[in-house]
Amino acid sequence: MLMGSTMFHECMRLQDILEAQIEIIERHIDKHKWFHLIADKDQAIADFIEKYGFIMREFYCSRVCKDRLECELAQLYHPK
Ligand SMILES: [Zn+2]
């Protein structure tokens, strides 16, 4: 039995977004640990993502992603 019509509600560039985010996090995580007095790197990464994850995501989806004009999820961010 078919599952019904399937539309994309997933960003197809998630892997690219994650790679970009990992690069940004790696560049900033030592300063983030120091600034917020967090000793553990994993904890610092979780804190960084909690604070800045949505900004990185919106910026990527609205201005960077090469599929932003077609991506259904990117439309939330009014891509240009
Ligand atoms: Zn997308």
Span from the CA of 52 to the centroid of ligand 1 (angstroms): 18
pLDDT digits (tens, 9 = 90+) for 39-76: 999 999 999 999 999 999 999 999 999 999 999 889 99
Residue 18 placed within a domain? yes
Domain count across the chain: 1
pLDDT in the model for residue 46: 97
Residue 9 placed within a domain? no
Residue 44 contacts residue 25 (beta carbons within 8 Å)? no
pLDDT in the model for residue 10: 75
Residue 8 placed within a domain? no
Residue 2 placed within a domain? no
Residue 6 placed within a domain? no
Span from the CA of 75 to the centroid of ligand 1 (angstroms): 9
Residue 50 placed within a domain? yes
Question: 46: domain range?
Answer: 14-77
What whole-number distance in Å separates Cα of residue 7 and Cα of residue 54? Answer: 24
| Local structure of 61: helix, strand or coil | helix
pTM of the model: 0.79
pLDDT digits (tens, 9 = 90+) for 10-43: 788 989 999 999 999 999 999 999 999 999 999 9
Span from the CA of 4 to the centroid of ligand 1 (angstroms): 23
